[in-house]
Amino acid sequence: MKKLWKELIDCGYKAVGTAEKLKAEALLFDALRKISCDAYRMEFAFDGWGTNGKNMLTMEAPQKRKLDCEVFLGSGSGTFAGVLRPIGKNIVWNMYAWDRYGVFQENKLVAYVSGRPEGGVLSQTLAEGNSAKPHFILGSDINDVLKALLKDGKQVRISGCADTYTQSDMRGCNLVLPLKSTEKKNKKIVLCAHYDTMYNTKGAYDNGAGAAVAVETAKLLKNNDIGSDVDVVLMDAEECRLEGSRHYALQANPDEIAFVINIDGIGRGDVMEVWCGPESFERKIIELLQADAEFPNKVYKNSPPPGSDHAPFYERGVDVCMFTVNDQDIIHTPYDDYNEDMLRNMEKMPVFIEKVIKGLLH
């Protein structure tokens, strides 16, 4: 598992539509085919997005200052200049409330800026889809400066450039390993983890760790018939509005799926977050994990937040559970790189996941 994980990290920034993502796809497909020749590619096309990396934001007045920033995945392209005005909150994935500003040229809104109330600058996705206007993200340090200037009645002038593009037929590819049971006492289980990253990170935590754990768990399940078919799915385009899991979920019959286990982010901490739904399924998980010693510190979240690959299944009425050892200090940043503390948590996950699946079936 360590070798595969490091090879995924070494692929670089694996955003959809990039050569680096294709390299990771080939690496993981080869790993799945070594487990079983039944592994196959599930290709799909979607309304994609990319950046050429030349995204800049500058405060022109009341002081001249280049602003450390990222653009939202889905940001529009173009250059602009105008006056910064607060317009409310940006609710990111229905979970995080960020300060939201508009850049106005006279009375025309020409760009958006979102400032994190806590934490450094990172990348994130516009959940509504690709925008015609540039959308920028600032860390809390610069956000605090802007808020103080505006509170003092200063006119803050901003200029910027977003160098992005859209592609209506961008290729995505889920990697599917079907593991067949000879008994089939239960409905099919879906075990998934995404393997793409945001455009600015190698994604060791999010989600090279999850992809490597899913492959290792597949080896355990291959050698131990649990009485259910299992689809092990490495999802593409999770960062691009969950396009890969939406495609898979729409092809599947929800009545034939017992439950979905999603692995997204195995970080450096000691708290396992468990995102479950519906509540009746969450109760089963809580009761099952009462005696678990692998991750003694757990936090349960219901209804499960929508920002990962379990969401399209949950929307279709399927029982879902996502496991993550959250690491918000590095997510969607260049700092998400190889770390031995992540590896220690990863090494506990395959047996943990296998026990969860078996426990839910019996």
Domains of the chain in sequence order: 2-48+168-361 (3.40.630.10), 54-162 (3.50.30.30)
Q: Which residues of the chain have pLDDT under 50?
A: none
Averaged confidence pLDDT in the chain: 97
pLDDT in tens, 125-139: 998 999 999 999 999
CB-CB contact of 274 with 300 (8 Å): yes
Q: In the β-sheet with 164-179, what is the strand arrangement from edge to edge?
A: 40-51, 164-179, 230-235, 188-194, 257-266, 320-325, 271-277, 297-301
Please give the span between the terminal C-alpha atoms of the chain, in angstroms, as a whole number.
28
Angle between the 209-222 and 340-361 helix axes, to the nearest 10 degrees?
40
How far apart are the C-alpha atoms of 332 and 90, rounded to whole Å? 18
Which has the closest alpha carbon to 217: 72, 127, 352?
352
Specify the pLDDT at position 308. Answer: 98
Q: What is the pLDDT of residue 185?
A: 80
What pLDDT shows up at residue 186? 83
**Which of 327, 301, 324 shows the shortest CA–CA distance to 314?**
301
CA distance 350 to 285: 17
